[in-house]
Amino acid sequence: MAQAARQKTVRRAVHGVLLLYTPLRLSTNDALQKAKWLLRAEKAGHTGTLDPLATGLLPLCFGAATKFSQVSLDADKAYRATLRLGQRTTTGDLEGERVDERPVRFDRDCLDAALARFTGVIDQLPPMHSALKKDGKALYEYARAGQTVERQPRRVTVHAIDIVDWHDAVLVIDVRCSKGTYIRTLAEDLGEALGCGAHLSALRRSASGPLTLDGAVTLDELESLPEPHRLARLQPVDVLLADWPRLALPADEAGKFLSGLRRRVALPDAAAVRVYGPGAGAFLGSAHIEAGELIADRLLSPAEVQSLSSPSRDPAPEPLPAAA
């Protein structure tokens, strides 16, 4: 009977962003596929992988929101990191074997000075235990085979490091940084600057761009909800662009914008704006303003705009296979 019920499950057009709180050791793709199945969604995508050894925020995009997933991928991130001072490991986190142990001997002034060294624009050497690829192969695959390959430093920006707690050999910090920042590398480098070594013992992502853990839901919580309540946990498509300037167009101009035509606007240049119909109208897409012209970048289709304006509309679905 359960199998028969699953066969009746059908896909449908679902649009929005799910703020998922992920637990330890859940891969980004597994989280995406389970959420997609629970929402019976036709189309879904993530906004960049989260290390399985990290917990916290994983924004998932559905339907029209997938067009703007790159915005979240490129956005600044915020993390709470717990460092175990005085110990280095083979992987830079608690999963690796301990390779070095040194006494922890520094004061608050030394700690503040070390944190200042890693604030701002810095160069990081990507860790071997990472998903970064070399010659089509992830670095962690080389590491698991006992190989170390040459890597090039990557320039990232650490906007701020704030001390949350520090006692004995445990240091908890909040980090705001650009995309591509390796927190385990930051932990290791900070440990070396303090003269004692360190590894990352816990990591939680707390924000991605304007998105935070406020309103985030776990997969277990999502599964326990009746289906209409699951859909209600979705954030609007434009939440990914919430910190961009907003531009509303009159009805006739909105239609032309959706067709991709450039429009003259008496506005200063802007690298990115979110565009809407008149008043509190529907979200239409993203654009930029250059030399007095509004130039579309990513557009919703008329059908998507209609679907977002009429959330109760349920288009003809297709069969959905059972969850693995």
Model confidence pLDDT, tens digit, residues 41-57:
999 999 888 887 899 99
CA torsion sign, 223 to 224 to 226 to 228?
A: negative
* Number of Cβ within a 10 Å radius of residue 231: 19
Let me know the angle formed at the C-alpha of 223 by 221 and 225, rounded to the nearest 5 degrees: 75
Q: If you average pLDDT over residues 72-93, what whole number do you get?
A: 95
* pLDDT tens track for 225-282: 998 899 999 999 999 999 999 999 998 899 899 999 998 999 999 999 999 998 768 9
Pairwise pLDDT comparison (147 vs 31), residue with the higher score: 31
Question: Of the listed 30, 51, 93, 123, which one is catalytic?
Answer: 51
Nearest Cα residue to 82 out of 209, 4, 199, 2: 199
Prediction pTM value = 0.87
Tokens of 76: 């600044």
* Helices 183-193 and 108-117, axial angle in degrees (round to 10): 130
Is 112 noted as a catalytic residue in this protein? Answer: no
Under 8 Å between Cβ of 72 and 208: yes
Tokens of 297: 């970048």
Nearest Cα residue to 91 out of 205, 200, 203: 200
Per the rule left: phi > 0, alpha: psi between -120 and 50, beta: everything else, 136 is: left
Please report, for residues 40, 110, 228, 321, the alpha-carbon distance to residue 12 in angstroms, rounded to integers and kept in the order given: 6, 57, 13, 13
Residue 214 pLDDT exceeds 90:
yes
| Structural domains of the chain ordered from first start | 77-208 (3.30.2350.10)
Residue 297 pLDDT exceeds 80:
yes
Tokens 């239409």 label which residue? 284
Lowest mean pLDDT among 6-20, 23-37, 43-57: 6-20
In whole angstroms, how large is the CA radius of gyration of the chain?
23
Helix (H, G, I), strand (E, B) or coil at 202: strand
